[in-house]
C-alpha cells in the first residue's frame, strides 16, 4: 500500500500531465493512435465503431450541423436512446465549440419545455419515440421551428432534417469552425437542486478531459474493455467515453440499462472496468457470478455491510467513488485499500481537488465533526446557467458548497453522513422535493404538499408526498389514484411519489414554510398509514 506521501506524489505527477487542447483534439489523437481498433461497441445491435470511424462520423456530423448554421456557443438539445447518434453528436458539437444539452428521455412534456426554454436551445436532435412528449409541450413551433428539429432513425413529414441523411451527405473531413479551447463550454448538464426545478451545470472541455483521466487513475490500472450500464444523458457514460479515447479501450454500450443482465454482459464481453450499483448486487445470486474478468468496479453509496460480500460473490475489487455533476470526481477510496472494505468511507480527495468539511461559518470542522463538504479545484462547473442567485448560494469564493454533510477523520478519510439539500435520492437520481411539491399543488383539490424521502432497500430512498386538501374537498374526491394520474402528466416516472399520506394541515415555520421535521418526529415507520403506489394498498 502506498504511503500518503507516495500517493500525493502520484497525484502531482498526474496533475502535471498536459491535457488535449479540447475534446475534439483528443478524438483526433485517439484515431491516430488506435485507428481501426474497436471504440464503441453497441453489442446488442451488433454495431461497432472503430476510433477512426467514430472520428469520421463526428466530422460528418460537425460539418452537417455547421451547414445548418450551428456555431460556437449555440445550444443543441439531444433526446435520444442509447446508440451511435448521441456520442457522435457530442463529439461533433465539441468540434464546433457548440454546447450539448442532454435530455433525460423519461422527461414529460412539462419538464422538456422547461429545459428547452431555460437553456435557450436553438436546435433539437430527437428520436421519433419521444416526439409525443415534444408535441405535448404546447406551441411547439414557436419554441423550435420544424427546420430546427433533427430526426434520428425515423421519418416524420413535419421534419425534413434527418440525421442519417445529413451525415451521409456531409464531408468526412472536418472543415473547421473556429478555435475551441479547454475552458470553452461543452455541456449544460441538468441536475436537480434545492431551487425546485433542475439547474443547468455549465461544463467545459477541461471538465470532461479531467473527469476521464482522474476516474481512470482511481481504478489503479489501465483498462482495455469498459461497460456502460446507463443512458448517455448521464455524466458517467460520457467520462467513460473519455477514458476509452485516452487509453484505446473498447467501450461496450447497452441499448437499455438492466440490473438483471448486467453481470452477464460483464462476463460475456470480458469487461475489466465499470460502475456497479447496489441493485446489481441485490439480484439473485448465481453459481457463476465470479466467472468474469472484471478488475475494478466503482461503487456509489453501497450499504457498507454488503461490500465484502459483493467483492467475494463477484470475485472483484470494488471501491467507493464520490462525485457530483457540479464538481466531477471528488473523492475516492484507493484501489490498494483492502482494509477499508465495508468501512462506509468514500476516501480521500482525488487529484486536482481539495476538500473541506466546513462549519456553518465556513471554518474547518474538527476530525469527526459533521459539516458541509466544500470542494475546489480546476475544471469544475463554471456555474449554473442563468442562475445568479443559485450561484451566489452555491459558492463561497472558489469553494463549491455541495450541500452534503460529511465527516473527516484524523487520517483524512471522508464519510457522508447526510445532506442539507431538500432532495430525495432514488436509484442514483436526485429528485428535488420542491419540483414534486409544485406539481402536486397544481392539482385543484390540493392546498399544500410536502415531499420527504423514505428509506428503501432497493432504491435507496423513495418519494413520499404529504398532501392537505382544499376546504370542502373530501379524500374520496381526491383519491391517491387521481393524485398519481395528475403527477404522471407532469413528472418523469422516477419522480412519482411511491407513498401518499393525507394530513389535515401543516405546521409552518416563521417564514411560512412547511416544517417537515414535524411530519416525521417520533415516526418509526414512514410508510405506515400511507398509500403505497407500488403495492397498490394502504400500509
How confident is residue 325, by pLDDT bands cut at 50, 70 and 90? Answer: very high
> Over the stretch 297-320, which tens digit does the pLDDT of each residue have?
999 888 898 999 999 999 999 999
| pLDDT for res 510 | 57
What's the whole-number mean pLDDT along residues 350-358?
98
Which helix (H) or strand (E) segment holds residue 320: the answer is: strand 317-324
Given a cut of 70, whether residue 119 has pLDDT beyond it is yes
- Other beta carbons less than 10 A from residue 106's beta carbon: 16
- Alpha-carbon span 241 to 219, nearest angstrom: 15
- Other beta carbons less than 10 A from residue 502's beta carbon: 17
What mean pLDDT, rounded, does the chain reach?
A: 94
Q: Do residues 354 and 377 make contact, with C-beta atoms less than 8 angstroms apart?
A: yes
Nearest of 121, 200, 178, 209 to residue 382 by alpha carbon: 200
The residue with cell 469487461 is 271
> Over the stretch 18-71, which tens digit does the pLDDT of each residue have?
999 999 999 999 999 999 999 999 999 999 999 999 999 999 999 999 999 999
How confident is residue 428, by pLDDT bands cut at 50, 70 and 90? Answer: confident
> Over the stretch 363-404, which tens digit does the pLDDT of each residue have?
999 999 999 999 999 999 999 999 999 999 999 999 999 999
| pLDDT for res 302 | 85
| pLDDT for res 438 | 87
Burial class (CB in 10 A: 0-12, 13-18, 19+), 260: exposed
| pLDDT for res 507 | 87
How confident is residue 421, by pLDDT bands cut at 50, 70 and 90? Answer: confident
| pLDDT for res 511 | 59
How confident is residue 196, by pLDDT bands cut at 50, 70 and 90? Answer: low
pTM score of the predicted model: 0.89
Total residues found in the chain within this entry: 539
| pLDDT for res 182 | 98
| pLDDT for res 427 | 86
What's the whole-number mean pLDDT along residues 323-334?
96
| pLDDT for res 17 | 97
> Over the stretch 480-534, which tens digit does the pLDDT of each residue have?
999 999 999 999 999 999 999 999 999 886 556 788 988 998 899 999 999 999 9
Domains of the chain: 20-257 (3.40.50.12780), 279-421 (3.40.50.12780), 423-538 (3.30.300.30)
Alpha helices (H) in 221-333, listed in sequence order: 236-247, 262-268, 278-281, 304-314
What's the whole-number mean pLDDT along residues 130-151?
93
Taking CA atoms, 26 is separated from 47, 60, 76, 95, 407, in Å, by 23, 17, 21, 11, 37
Within a 13 Å sphere around the CA of 203, how many CA atoms are in the beta-carbon half?
A: 28
> Over the stretch 444-480, which tens digit does the pLDDT of each residue have?
999 999 999 999 988 889 999 999 999 999 999 999 9
What's the whole-number mean pLDDT along residues 141-165?
94
Q: Do residues 462 and 454 make contact, with C-beta atoms less than 8 angstroms apart?
A: yes
How confident is residue 277, by pLDDT bands cut at 50, 70 and 90? Answer: confident
What's the whole-number mean pLDDT along residues 392-420?
92
What's the whole-number mean pLDDT along residues 233-258?
97
- Alpha-carbon span 372 to 402, nearest angstrom: 7
- Alpha-carbon span 35 to 42, nearest angstrom: 18
Given a cut of 80, whether residue 193 has pLDDT beyond it is no
Q: Do residues 249 and 228 make contact, with C-beta atoms less than 8 angstroms apart?
A: no
| pLDDT for res 407 | 94
Residue 78, SS3 per DSSP: strand
Amino acid at each position: 500500500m502506498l504511503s500518503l506521501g507516495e500517493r500525493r506524489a502520484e497525484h502531482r505527477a498526474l496533475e502535471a500531465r498536459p491535457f488535449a487542447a479540447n475534446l475534439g483534439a483528443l478524438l483526433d489523437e485517439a484515431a491516430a493512435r488506435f485507428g481501426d481498433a474497436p471504440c464503441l461497441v453497441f453489442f446488442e445491435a451488433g454495431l461497432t465503431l472503430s476510433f477512426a470511424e467514430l472520428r469520421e462520423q463526428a466530422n460528418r456530423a460537425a460539418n452537417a450541423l455547421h451547414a445548418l448554421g450551428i456555431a460556437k456557443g449555440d445550444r443543441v438539445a439531444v433526446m435520444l436512446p442509447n446508440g451511435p447518434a448521441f456520442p457522435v453528436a457530442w463529439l461533433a458539437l465539441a468540434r464546433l465549440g457548440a454546447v450539448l444539452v442532454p435530455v433525460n428521455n423519461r422527461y414529460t412534456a412539462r419538464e422538456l419545455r422547461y429545459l428547452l426554454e431555460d437553456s435557450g436551445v436553438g436546435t433539437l436532435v430527437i428520436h421519433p419515440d419521444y416526439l409525443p412528449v415534444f408535441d405535448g409541450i404546447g406551441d411547439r413551433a414557436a419554441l423550435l421551428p420544424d427546420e430546427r428539429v433533427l430526426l434520428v432513425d425515423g421519418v416524420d413529414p413535419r421534419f425534413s432534417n434527418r440525421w442519417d441523411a445529413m451525415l451521409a451527405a456531409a464531408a468526412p473531413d472536418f472543415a473547421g469552425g473556429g478555435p475551441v479551447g479547454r475552458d470553452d463550454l461543452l455541456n449544460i448538464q441538468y441536475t436537480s437542486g434545492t431551487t425546485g426545478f433542475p439547474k443547468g451545470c455549465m461544463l467545459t472541455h477541461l471538465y470532461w478531459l479531467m473527469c476521464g483521466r482522474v476516474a481512470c487513475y482511481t481504478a489503479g490500472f489501465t483498462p482495455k474493455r469498459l461497460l456502460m450500464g446507463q443512458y448517455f444523458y448521464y455524466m458517467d457514460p460520457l467520462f467513460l467515453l473519455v477514458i476509452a479515447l485516452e487509453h484505446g479501450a473498447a467501450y461496450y454500450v447497452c441499448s437499455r440499462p438492466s440490473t438483471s443482465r448486467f453481470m452477464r454482459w460483464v462476463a460475456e464481453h470480458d469487461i475489466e472496468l465499470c460502475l456497479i450499483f447496489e441493485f446489481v448486487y441485490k439480484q439473485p445470486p448465481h453459481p457463476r457470478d465470479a466467472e468474469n474478468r472484471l478488475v475494478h468496479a466503482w461503487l456509489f453509496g453501497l450499504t457498507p455491510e454488503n461490500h465484502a460480500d459483493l467483492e467475494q460473490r463477484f470475485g472483484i475489487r470494488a471501491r467507493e467513488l464520490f462525485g457530483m455533476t457540479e464538481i466531477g470526481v471528488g473523492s475516492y477510496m484507493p484501489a490498494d485499500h483492502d482494509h477499508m472494505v465495508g468501512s462506509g468511507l468514500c476516501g480521500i480527495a482525488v487529484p486536482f481537488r481539495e476538500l473541506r468539511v466546513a462549519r456553518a461559518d465556513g471554518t474547518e470542522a474538527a476530525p469527526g465533526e459533521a459539516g458541509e463538504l466544500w470542494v475546489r479545484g480546476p475544471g469544475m462547473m463554471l456555474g449554473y446557467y442563468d442562475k445568479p442567485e443559485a450561484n451566489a448560494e452555491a459558492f463561497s469564493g472558489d469553494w463549491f458548497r455541495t450541500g452534503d454533510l460529511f465527516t473527516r477523520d484524523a487520517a483524512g478519510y471522508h464519510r457522508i453522513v447526510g445532506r442539507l439539500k431538500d432532495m430525495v435520492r432514488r436509484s442514483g437520481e436526485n429528485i428535488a422535493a420542491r419540483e414534486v411539491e409544485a406539481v402536486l399543488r397544481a392539482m385543484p383539490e390540493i392546498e399544500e404538499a410536502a415531499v420527504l424521502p423514505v428509506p428503501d432497500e432497493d432504491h435507496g430512498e423513495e418519494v413520499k408526498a404529504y398532501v392537505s386538501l382544499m376546504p370542502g374537498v373530501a379524500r374520496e374526491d381526491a383519491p391517491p389514484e387521481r393524485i398519481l394520474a395528475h403527477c404522471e402528466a407532469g413528472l418523469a416516472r422516477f419522480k412519482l411519489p411511491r407513498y401518499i399520506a393525507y394530513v389535515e394541515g401543516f405546521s409552518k415555520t416563521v417564514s411560512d414554510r412547511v416544517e417537515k421535521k414535524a411530519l416525521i418526529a417520533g415516526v418509526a415507520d414512514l410508510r405506515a398509514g400511507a398509500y403505497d403506489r407500488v403495492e397498490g394498498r394502504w400500509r
